[in-house]
């Protein structure tokens, strides 16, 4: 009896420190399975109280719960906020203009954003891999300048001009990759430096004074302004790029490696993924 009284006093003292109601402690102490050592049905570990305060019963627990709720709400806003705003804008413009929800307007919007959408597709891969490329805009300007110079000033064939422009873009991407992977330079710093170089090349490529060059090739204009099945050609190109990117990232081993590298490059390297080749 004396041992049971001592155990009960110890439990009540610990309960006051944990802010557990005394009634819960008394119920625990009176349970045959949680009695003092040596009591019927008791175990050696039953001397310590097994009733703990719930996370929300103390001020600290309630504060953590409220903080977690705010974090979850912020995550939802960051994940779906842009889509909600876009939906609101679509509804607003659809109500304000009777021409907004027309096929012709959809084709015009698609043509206007096709180039930006294709650039965004390439940048998405870099972001998933944990890198950031700030040269996408200037590289596009440089390749356009090279293409225009070859076709207009040098009268090069269309296919050769496209091949040279694409090759220049790939070469710049290779330079950025070498700076980031082999030299260990932060991707933001490296692409800021190459961005200035590419901008300078774009200004002096047509003429030393950076004069404008206007595309007058009729074949090129016919291709870019074509509308097979009523859909602008740039929109079709963007759709093909998105489809290929989806297959690459979701259904190939390379896509899994890109996701793994962006999540934790060190762990991906230890798992045998060739991080430096991505």
Mean pLDDT over 179-204 rounds to 90
pLDDT of residue 40: 46
Count H helices, E strands: the chain? 11, 0
User: pTM for the whole thing?
Assistant: 0.68
d(CA 24, CA 135): 65
Residue 23 pLDDT greater than 80, yes or no: no
pLDDT digits (tens, 9 = 90+) for 68-119: 888 888 888 888 888 999 999 999 999 999 899 999 999 999 999 999 999 9
Contact partners, residue 193, CB within 8 Å, separation at least 6: 179
pLDDT digits (tens, 9 = 90+) for 209-240: 667 778 877 888 888 888 888 899 999 999 99
| Residues 258 and 278: beta-carbon distance below 8 Å | yes
Query: Under the phi-then-psi rule, with left for phi > 0, alpha for psi from -120 to 50, and beta for the rest, what region is 227?
Result: beta
Phi then psi for residue 264, to 5 deg, are: -160, 100
């Amino acid at each position: 009896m004396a041992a049971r009284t001592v155990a009960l006093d110890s439990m009540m003292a610990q309960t006051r420190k944990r802010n557990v109601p005394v009634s819960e402690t008394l119920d625990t102490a009176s349970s045959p399975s949680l009695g003092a050592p040596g009591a019927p049905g008791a175990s050696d570990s039953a001397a310590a109280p097994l009733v703990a305060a719930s996370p929300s019963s103390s001020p600290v627990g309630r504060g953590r719960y409220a903080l977690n709720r705010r974090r979850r709400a912020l995550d939802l806003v960051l994940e779906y906020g842009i889509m909600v705003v876009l939906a609101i804008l679509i509804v607003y413009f659809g109500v304000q203009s009777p021409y907004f929800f027309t096929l012709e307007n959809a084709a015009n919007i698609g043509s206007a954003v096709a180039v930006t959408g294709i650039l965004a597709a390439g940048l998405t891969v870099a972001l998933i891999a944990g890198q950031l490329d700030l040269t996408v805009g200037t590289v596009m300007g440089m390749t356009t300048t090279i293409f225009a110079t070859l076709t207009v000033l040098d009268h090069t064939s269309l296919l050769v001009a496209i091949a040279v422009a694409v090759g220049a873009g790939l070469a710049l991407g290779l330079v950025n990759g070498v700076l980031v992977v082999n030299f260990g330079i932060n991707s933001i710093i490296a692409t800021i430096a190459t961005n200035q170089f590419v901008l300078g090349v774009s200004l002096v490529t047509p003429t030393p004074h950076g004069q404008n060059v206007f595309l007058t090739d009729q074949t090129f204009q016919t291709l870019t302004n074509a509308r097979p099945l009523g859909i602008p050609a740039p929109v079709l190109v963007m759709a093909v790029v998105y489809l290929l990117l989806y297959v690459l990232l979701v259904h190939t081993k390379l896509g899994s490696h890109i996701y793994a590298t962006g999540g934790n490059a060190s762990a991906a390297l230890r798992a045998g993924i060739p991080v430096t080749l991505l």
